[in-house]
Amino acid sequence: MGAALKRAITQHGTKLIVSDPRNIDVVRFADVWLRSQPGTDVIWINTLAHIILRDGLHNQEYIDERTENFTAYSQSLAKFTPEYAEKKCGIPVAELEKAAHLYAKGRSAILYCMGITQHVSGTDNVKALANLAMLCGNIGIQGGGLNPLRGQNNVQGACDMGALPTTYPAYGKVIDESVRARFEAAWDVKLSESNGMTSRQMFDAVDAGTLNALYLIGENPVVSHADSAHAVHCLEKIPFLVVQDIFLTETAKLADVVLPAACFAEKNGTFTNTERRVQRVRKAVTAPQGARDDAQIVCDIAAKMGTELIQDNGENAAAVFDEMVSVTPSYGGLTYSRIDETGIQWPCPDTESKGTPILHAEKFVCGKGKFHEVDFVAPAEEADEEYPLILTTGRVLYQYHTGTMTRKSTGLYAKAPAAYLEISRNDAAAYNVNDGDRVKVSSRRGAIEVSVQLSEKAVDGTVFIPFHFAEAAANVLTNSAACPESGIAEVKVCAVTIEPVGD
Amino acid sequence: MSTLELTINGKGYAFTQGETILDVACRNDIVIPTLCHLKNTTPTGACRMCVVEVKGARSLVASCTVPASAGMEVQTESPSVVKSRKMNLELLLSSGSHDCLLCPASGDCRLQDLAFKYNATGKRFERTKPKYSPDVSNPFLIRDFSKCILCGRCVQACKDVQVNNAIDYGYRGSDAKIIAKCDLPLGDSDCVFCGECLQVCPVGALTLKKARQKPRICETEAVRTTCAYCGVGCQMNLHVKDNVVQMVTGADAVPNHGSLCVKGRFGMQFINSPERLTTPLIRKDGELVPAEWDEALGLVAEKLGTYKAENGADSIGVLASARCTNEENYLFQKFARAVIGTNNVDHCARY
Amino acid sequence: MTHITPTKLEAMRKEYAARLTQPHIRHLFICGGTGCHATGSLKVKDALHEEIAKHGLEEKVRVVETGCNGFCALGPLMVVHPDNVFYQKMTVDDVAEIVSEHLVHEKPVERLMYKDPQSKKRVPLFSDIPFFALQKPWTLRNKGIINPESIEDYIGREGYMGLSKVLLEMEPSQIIDEMKASGIRGRGGAGFPTGMKWSFAAQNDSDIKYVLCNADEGDPGAFMDRSILEADPHAVLEGMTIAARAINATEGYIYCRSEYPLAIKRVQIAIDQARSLGLLGENIMGTGFSFDISIYQGAGAFVCGEETALMRSIEGKRGMPIPRPPFPAAQGLWKKPTILNNVETLANVGQIMLNGGKWYSSVGTENSKGTKVFALSGDVNNIGLVEVPMGTSLRSIVYDIGGGIPKKRKLKAVQLGGPSGGCIPEDHMDVVVDYEEIAKVGAIMGSGGVIVMDDKTCMVDMARFFLEFIQEESCGKCTPCREGTRRQLEILERICEGHGKPEDITLIEELSEMITASALCGLGQTASNPVLSVLRHFRNEFEAHIFDKKCPAKRCPALVEFKVIDERCKKCGKCAAVCPVGAVEWQKKEVAKINTEACVQCMSCYSACPFDAID
């Protein structure tokens, strides 16, 4: 993905605008770097829209034909002047002007990751970006669009398959009677009529005593959840915790029952990637003796509860796939043989369809694209006297998520063995710490100890810690305040302070 | 418009404007040997192995760079072509130590294949001693300059494919060497160890660390699958022998066209990790202790059944996994909805 | 800014002419080329100023530091105008005499005049010196006459009038037609018709196009381009600007090796001056045409003279050739249409435009028009820069202009075209300067390096020298050049060391065939030329090395046994004096004797003997 981006820039003249509080590696390929104060994304995004509108660079034809609520939206942009943005985000006016003009000139794609979503204003940020894209007619065209980059291999597929509290496979709402009726017929069972709880709500329900049992598969919230002390507290408190994983993770250690699972190389199936491409997973080796396929485990539990979850106990992935696509219209035309060589991008409703690389091409799936007025909401926690630095968290190339898998690789371990605090030279001098020093980083929620890494990537006032490392888990520090709409916690912004640790 | 046509080895083939002689040949399954040619990158014309004879041309031409033109008469294995290739191979084979018996790439080596095909021994010239000692400065790969034929594929891969610009040609003449930043060891350079170079090296100059403790790639069976790390969904081959994933290569398909990142290529050790869970565990007296599957599954079923019966289905939650397959996630949510009877199902998308 | 006009140019020209012909005013044109700088011309110049001041002649004598005069072997040198007197090998000590005798008392100093090596007579007049008299200075028309750091001097010699004509009176297509009519071919060596090259780039539409000047001059023994840039930098700028107009380019680079600091300095001054007069930069001469030039300093890699490598180097990449097509005319620098011309080619353009292509093509042979500049060096009396009409014989260059071989030795061969060229033996000396004729005898015109070799030269060793050069300068990218030339060198080294094998000649020939047929760039494809031409003309020397283990020219120490020829020995003892290992036994009034056991074949005695008595 990164390579494709860099190829586009270096070999095909594509221009790049990077927005990141850190001077990340890709900045050297960028024409403009918008270095914003963490948590102020709505402002600079709306400001780009403001400039585009002010200078008449928007695509009026597209707006008229394809969208609605433009007038209210355009009025809402009035206050987002470049000068206001410079003051609030710390991005120079000239850079904003340059970025706006670059974006509005020709086809432009937006790629974003957790830096946009993991904020209390996460949904607002995405809406603001969507507005920007629609403003310039950049949705539904090749080389355009609003493209979230999925951090995990099958987030897309898990969502598609309805591993969400409000939707069935293919996003039919659980509260929609007709949809529910379809699934009740397919599964021959009466289904719950109310929305379920999100992961975060489940943890809160544990705390409130209303959730008694949690069956947790392949996830490590002790390290990955914001404010991990709270997560640990809930997991310890829950009456019955089942963890199904390939390793005894920090979370599994808290379980009442641990079920050993097979990993991706040991089973057949499909993953759906970030571009909605459904691709094959094939069994290359047999799982270690004693470990079992996830499908088999869940079918066994169901069987013991007196239900046959699926024919053959899930042993035949192809059979599961067939039932799965039969209730998932957007996957309807997919078969293992069709995606044998090359994956297909859904929607692929029937066997005639070759898949759909670009969504919203002729018209928006929901009809008209709605402009949402988005106002700025400050991060839940801001720097203050007690905690004067802003911490933002993220990943390093050599590690993956909570490190369960990557930290088993000697090579990767050698390249990135431990957590560190990335800090600018000025800040390091202010706190009297040097490269390699051990420091205690504290927030209102906890403290961890890491080594200092002086870095040109860091900008004064903002520090960074990768979150992969359980022994110095950045999420001990992060704030669990979440976006009210998506439930995503604001792990990208919290206030911390640092102090040197004596030997 | 009349179709454009050229002849290769006496037979006519149609081509489109912009295709090279090599493109046309490949498309028609005519084998022209190459060492430096790397798909999807600008041809460098470095190895001169793909030379062919074109009627009327002043000299042999490199088929990878010369565009096909109408009426061109190409010979791909004429005596002068074969002679040139053979001499080229003699030169390469006598420079450095191309000892197939000890080479991890044996069986997966273009130089070896071509030496065989053109009967080149490397004995026409005195064998030159390697100038540079191997670079073993990093945990992933070894750069053995004595086997390097300076084809430059690794440079192309690094520059044109991955755009990391970590390596390039250094020095001149027979001192030429592929170097990383100021000829630093790779481990101290800008290299991010995507391993693209490793994958494209046509000989044994770039090999995995501890290659001798692994089977050669030609002894393994490749299983095509999708990478289990990030959401890009790179297509990869897991090379298996003895039920162990010995190495990983990128598969030439969308979306990654053969490329992988450091995690995909070098991060699969976990599969065979001794730390893998191999038995269910049940907490007894505060300790997690091994248990039989039947007991563990029975306990789970019983507990879930009890809570459902006593406190209602919504007192139970299921957290499915973005790490699992679609099929499994389908089953997880079906389990929550159809067996437990709750919509309390979610997964880790938000973290 | 007011733009310079043709009228103004003409006025400047007249002013200059008037200045030169002012009665009772003398001009001292002292050579300020790199060669003369090295021999001390700057000190002589300072001394002249001082001495002139002492005699109160400041009003009557103007000292002008010019670019390279061409007769480099005789520096520091000076021409007194209008007296037409040429002084050579001047020292600071000579200055007082020159000023008092010549400038005050009107008595030219005879002892500093040119001495004909054959007749041993002094030649009082500059124009009578055969070295100059037989040349046709077109490209070098301003050498030794103008101050290269003065745009006024250049304009005084019709400078920028070609450009003025082009911009105000001609269409781009007419420029190209005129270039084609001139018949001028690339002076960098390959001889591609320049007009044709320009027409290709002109045909390719692009927002940006480039004109590049190749001043990377990397051949051993070549200094034509450097001298032109040092002597007449504006001529190159004018040529580039006209080329830019012809193909509609907006930017130009002069790629010059950083070992040429004086050339770089003077070109930069010239660029600044041209800009200040509006002859370069935005809206040149008010015509709306804009073009600017920058200097790009190369690090002196031979391969960067190859056009695609040169462009990569300007792009900031490693200078390595890339395959063609695409040709630079379509995708050159930064993938934009680009023309690359050699310094010498460009220096002719202004005059071609001013006088017409027909004028230029009036001189030369059927397919090689105009003149060619050569850097004459090696075993020849008159070492220096010469310019002759195409069609001049090599013999004339070596003997008439070059003054023949020193020490009455015999001419063995002439190496033409540097490491990409070949040697031409004595019996082919009547070959004329013409791209095709020279190719017929196994050499190439090349950029103009002429290395004269006398009979003490070992041709095998000469081939080895060029291969060593090629091998060191090979970029290392393609196998034939990197590995093939290395093996050829290895074989030649072993032949010179007396370990040649019977099959070596075949092996060299096979390698040559393969390298020539399959190397990536022109440098590799021609890398075998020197060795092939030696094999062609001096095969017997190869065989003597391999089979008889003898070096006929006695240059390869391992194959030589020195002995004194008794009848020639004049018993002077010079050989014994220079022998570093005491291997020469000599008593006063006795014939010397060489102890072959002790001899290390250093050749000191061989070189020291004034009577050729050591063999």
Domain count across chain C: 5
Nearest Cα neighbor of A324 from B217, C421, B325 is B325
Q: B touches C (3+ CB pairs < 8 Å)?
A: yes
In a domain, C141, yes or no: no
Whether residue A104 is found in the same domain as residue A21? yes
Query: How far are the Cα atoms of B89, B96, B121, B134 from residue B116, in angstroms, in the given order?
Result: 10, 18, 8, 26
Task: State residue B26's pLDDT score.
Answer: 96
A196 touches B at CB < 8 Å? yes
As to burial, measured by CB atoms within 10 angstroms (0-12 exposed, 13-18 middle, 19+ buried), residue A42 is buried
Nearest chain C residue (CA) to B83: C514
Mapped to the 3 state alphabet, what secondary structure does C379-402 carry?
CCCCCEEEEEECCCEHHHHHHHHC
Nearest chain B residue (CA) to C325: B66
pLDDT digits 0-9 by tens, C324-383: 889 999 999 999 999 999 999 999 999 999 999 999 999 999 999 999 999 999 999 999
Nearest-10 Cα torsion for B115, B116, B119, B122: 40
pLDDT digits 0-9 by tens, C394-448: 999 999 999 999 988 899 999 998 888 999 999 999 999 999 999 999 899 988 9
Whether residue A300 is found in the same domain as residue A418? no
Examine the fold and report which residue of C522, C546, C570 is the final residue of a domain before the chain moves on: C546
Q: Do C518 and B125 touch (CB under 8 A)?
A: no
In a domain, A328, yes or no: yes
Q: B touches A (3+ CB pairs < 8 Å)?
A: yes
For C184, the 3-state DSSP assignment is coil
> pTM of this prediction?
0.90
For the residues B90-100, what does the mean pLDDT come to?
Answer: 94
Q: Give C510→chain B minimum CA distance, Å.
A: 8
Examine the fold and report which residue of C73, C105, C133 is the final residue of a domain before the chain moves on: C133
List of chain B residues whose C-beta atoms are within 8 Å of the C-beta of residue A412 = 262-263, 266-267
For C478, the 3-state DSSP assignment is coil
Whether residue C311 is found in the same domain as residue C438? no
For B173, the closest of C482, C487, C507 (CB atoms) is C482
Show the tokens assigned to C61: 């004598």
In a domain, A376, yes or no: no
Whether residue A111 is found in the same domain as residue A231? no
Q: Do B174 and C483 touch (CB under 8 A)?
A: yes
Neighbours of chain B (3+ CB pairs under 8 A): A, C
Whether residue A109 is found in the same domain as residue A225? no
For the stretch C470-485, what's the b/e string if a residue is b when 16 or more beta carbons lie within 10 angstroms of its beta carbon? bbebbbbbbbbbbbbb
Question: Cis ω on the peptide bond leading into residue B130 (within 30° of 0)?
Answer: no
As to burial, measured by CB atoms within 10 angstroms (0-12 exposed, 13-18 middle, 19+ buried), residue A85 is buried
Whether residue A201 is found in the same domain as residue A263? yes
For the stretch A172-203, what's the b/e string if a residue is b when 16 or more beta carbons lie within 10 angstroms of its beta carbon? bebeeeebbeebeeebeeebbeebbbbbbbbb
Give kind and range of the element (H or E) at residue C66: strand C61-66
For C328, the 3-state DSSP assignment is coil
CATH number at residue C595: 3.30.70.20
Long-range Cβ contact pairs of C313-319 (< 8 A, separation 24 or more): C313/C255, C314/C212, C314/C253, C314/C255, C318/B168, C318/B169, C318/C475, C319/C475
Whether residue A321 is found in the same domain as residue A443? no
Contacts of B251 (CB under 8 A, 6+ apart): B224, B235, B236, B237, B258
Whether residue C123 is found in the same domain as residue C236? no
Distance (Å, rounded) from C-alpha C43 to C-alpha C31? 12
Distance (Å, rounded) from C-alpha C495 to C-alpha A443? 79
In a domain, A184, yes or no: yes
A274 touches B at CB < 8 Å? yes
In a domain, A365, yes or no: no
Q: Do C487 and B125 touch (CB under 8 A)?
A: yes
Q: How confident is the model at residue B351 (pLDDT cuts 50, 70, 90)?
A: low
Whether residue A405 is found in the same domain as residue A434? yes
Whether residue C453 is found in the same domain as residue C510? no
Whether residue A127 is found in the same domain as residue A270? no
Examine the fold and report which residue of C519, C546, C573 is the final residue of a domain before the chain moves on: C546
List of chain A residues whose C-beta atoms are within 8 Å of the C-beta of residue B347 = 155, 158-159, 163-164, 199, 219
Q: Do B169 and C318 touch (CB under 8 A)?
A: yes
Whether residue A131 is found in the same domain as residue A167? no
Distance (Å, rounded) from C-alpha A345 to C-alpha C291? 51
In the block, residue with structure tokens 């990164």: A2
**Upper half-sphere CA count for residue B315 (Cβ side, 13 Å):** 17
In a domain, C23, yes or no: yes
Whether residue C278 is found in the same domain as residue C408? no
Q: Do B174 and C476 touch (CB under 8 A)?
A: yes
Interface of A with B in 44-83 (CB under 8 A): none
List of chain A residues whose C-beta atoms are within 8 Å of the C-beta of residue B276 = 246-247, 260, 263, 288, 291
In the block, residue with structure tokens 């990569």: C312
Q: Check pLDDT > 60 for residue B209.
A: yes
Q: Do C486 and B169 touch (CB under 8 A)?
A: no
Q: Give B288→chain A minimum CA distance, Å.
A: 7
For A433, the 3-state DSSP assignment is coil
Q: Do A197 and B297 touch (CB under 8 A)?
A: no
Interface of A with B in 464-493 (CB under 8 A): 486-489, 491
In a domain, C138, yes or no: no
Beta bridge partners of C64: C29
Q: Tally Cβ neighbours within 10 Å of residue A52.
A: 20
Nearest Cα neighbor of B102 from B179, B206, B212 is B212
Distance (Å, rounded) from C-alpha C105 to C-alpha B258? 87
pLDDT in 10s for each residue of chain A, 503 residues: 788 999 999 998 899 999 999 999 899 999 999 999 999 999 999 999 999 999 999 999 989 888 889 899 999 989 999 999 999 999 999 999 999 999 999 899 999 988 898 898 989 999 999 999 999 988 888 888 888 888 888 999 999 999 999 999 999 999 999 999 999 999 999 999 999 999 888 999 999 999 999 999 998 888 888 888 888 999 999 999 999 999 999 999 999 999 999 999 999 999 999 999 999 999 999 999 999 999 999 999 999 999 899 888 878 899 999 999 999 999 999 999 999 999 999 899 998 889 888 888 777 777 888 899 899 988 889 999 999 999 999 888 888 888 888 888 888 888 888 999 999 999 999 999 999 999 999 999 999 999 999 999 998 999 999 999 888 888 889 888 888 888 888 889 999 999 998 76
Task: State residue A425's pLDDT score.
Answer: 94
Sign of CA dihedral C348, C349, C353, C356: positive
Instruction: Give residue A394's domain range.
Output: 389-500
For the residues B37-42, what does the mean pLDDT come to?
Answer: 92
Alpha helices in chain B (DSSP H): 21-27, 79-94, 110-118, 153-156, 196-200, 262-266, 293-311, 326-334
For the stretch C75-103, what's the b/e string if a residue is b when 16 or more beta carbons lie within 10 angstroms of its beta carbon? bbbbbbbebebbbbebebebbeebbeebb
Whether residue A398 is found in the same domain as residue A480? yes
| Mean pLDDT over the full length of chain C | 93
Distance (Å, rounded) from C-alpha B110 to C-alpha B131? 23
Distance (Å, rounded) from C-alpha B33 to C-alpha B51? 9
Q: What is the widest separation between alpha-carbon atoms in chain B?
A: 91
CATH number at residue A440: 2.40.40.20
Phi then psi for residue C145, to 5 deg, are -115, -45
List of chain B residues whose C-beta atoms are within 8 Å of the C-beta of residue C514 = 83-84, 87-88
In a domain, C144, yes or no: no
Q: Check pLDDT > 70 for residue B349.
A: no
Distance (Å, rounded) from C-alpha C130 to C-alpha B288? 107
Whether residue A304 is found in the same domain as residue A243? yes
CATH number at residue A234: 3.40.50.740
Whether residue C91 is found in the same domain as residue C215? no
Whether residue C108 is found in the same domain as residue C167? no
Q: Tally Cβ neighbours within 10 Å of residue A492.
A: 27
Kindly state the percentage of chain C with pLDDT values over 90: 79
Alpha helices in B193-288 (DSSP H): 196-200, 262-266
Query: How far are the Cα atoms of A462, C415, C440, C458, C554 from residue C412, in angstroms, in the given order?
Result: 77, 10, 19, 10, 14
Show the tokens assigned to A78: 């009035």
Q: Do B330 and A291 touch (CB under 8 A)?
A: no
List of chain A residues whose C-beta atoms are within 8 Å of the C-beta of residue B320 = 158, 161, 163, 217
CATH number at residue A11: 3.40.228.10
Instruction: Give residue C592's domain range.
Output: 561-615
For B84, the closest of C301, C518, C525 (CB atoms) is C518
In a domain, A351, yes or no: no
Ramachandran quadrant class, C16 (left: phi over 0; alpha: psi -120 to 50; beta: rest): alpha
In the block, residue with structure tokens 């993991």: A118
**Upper half-sphere CA count for residue C464 (Cβ side, 13 Å):** 17
**What residues of chain C have any CB closer than 8 angstroms to a CB in chain B?**
301, 303, 318, 320, 322-325, 471-480, 482-487, 490, 507, 510-511, 513-514, 516-520, 525
Whether residue C232 is found in the same domain as residue C351? yes
Nearest Cα neighbor of B42 from C251, C420, C325 is C325
Q: Do A210 and B245 touch (CB under 8 A)?
A: no
Distance (Å, rounded) from C-alpha B233 to C-alpha B253? 11
Distance (Å, rounded) from C-alpha B78 to C-alpha A259? 66
Distance (Å, rounded) from C-alpha C576 to C-alpha C608? 9
Whether residue A307 is found in the same domain as residue A213? yes
For C232, the 3-state DSSP assignment is coil
Whether residue C332 is found in the same domain as residue C445? no
Nearest Cα neighbor of A177 from A191, A165, A162 is A191
Examine the fold and report which residue of A312, A345, A378 is the final residue of a domain before the chain moves on: A345
Q: Do B161 and A199 touch (CB under 8 A)?
A: no
In a domain, C125, yes or no: yes
Q: Check pLDDT > 90 for residue B1.
A: no
Size of interface B-C (CB pairs under 8 A): 111
Whether residue C187 is found in the same domain as residue C112? no
Distance (Å, rounded) from C-alpha C593 to C-alpha C566? 9
In a domain, C353, yes or no: yes
CATH number at residue C539: 1.20.1440.230
In a domain, A356, yes or no: no
| Mean pLDDT over the full length of chain B | 94
pLDDT digits 0-9 by tens, C51-85: 999 999 999 999 999 998 888 889 899 999 999 99
For C105, the 3-state DSSP assignment is coil
Distance (Å, rounded) from C-alpha C342 to C-alpha C186? 7
Domain count across chain A: 3
Q: Which amino acid does the sequence have at B242?
A: D
Q: Do B48 and C477 touch (CB under 8 A)?
A: no
pLDDT digits 0-9 by tens, A390-419: 999 988 888 888 888 888 888 888 888 899
Q: Check pLDDT > 50 for residue C301.
A: yes
Task: State residue C330's pLDDT score.
Answer: 94
Query: How far are the Cα atoms of A24, A72, A399, B96, B206 from residue B263, in angstroms, in the given order?
Result: 19, 46, 7, 32, 18
Show the tokens assigned to C575: 């050989």
Whether residue C528 is found in the same domain as residue C447? no
Q: Give B203→chain C minimum CA distance, Å.
A: 15
In a domain, A263, yes or no: yes
The number of angstroms, rounded, from the C-alpha of B297 to the middle of its chain's C-alpha atoms is 41
Q: How confident is the model at residue B2 (pLDDT cuts 50, 70, 90)?
A: low
Nearest chain C residue (CA) to B80: C514
Nearest Cα neighbor of C269 from C373, C163, C152 is C152
A13 touches B at CB < 8 Å? no
In a domain, A354, yes or no: no
Mapped to the 3 state alphabet, what secondary structure does A111-159 carry?
EECHHHHCCCCHHHHHHHHHHHHHHCCCCCCCCCCEEECCCCCCHHHHH
Examine the fold and report which residue of A283, A312, A345 is the final residue of a domain before the chain moves on: A345
Distance (Å, rounded) from C-alpha C281 to C-alpha C274? 8
For the residues C549-556, what does the mean pLDDT come to?
Answer: 90
Nearest chain C residue (CA) to B89: C479
Nearest Cα neighbor of A161 from A183, A192, A194 is A183
Show the tokens assigned to B314: 């919504």
A348 touches B at CB < 8 Å? no
Show the tokens assigned to B127: 């064998």
Nearest chain B residue (CA) to C507: B124
For the residues C134-159, what does the mean pLDDT come to?
Answer: 93
For the residues C516-531, what does the mean pLDDT come to?
Answer: 94
Angle between helices A294-304 and B293-311 (to 10 degrees): 60
Task: State residue B8's pLDDT score.
Answer: 97
Whether residue C212 is found in the same domain as residue C173? yes
For the residues C582-587, what does the mean pLDDT come to?
Answer: 90
Task: State residue B243's pLDDT score.
Answer: 95
Angle at CA C250, nearest 5°, toward C245 and C256? 100
Task: State residue B15's pLDDT score.
Answer: 96
List the domains of chain B with CATH numbers: 5-77 (3.10.20.740), 100-108+119-213 (3.30.70.20), 215-276 (2.20.25.90), 281-347 (no CATH)
Whether residue C199 is found in the same domain as residue C278? yes
Query: How far are the Cα atoms of A59, B91, C481, C521 from residue B86, in angstroms, in the given order?
Result: 62, 9, 15, 20
In a domain, C552, yes or no: no
In a domain, C1, yes or no: no
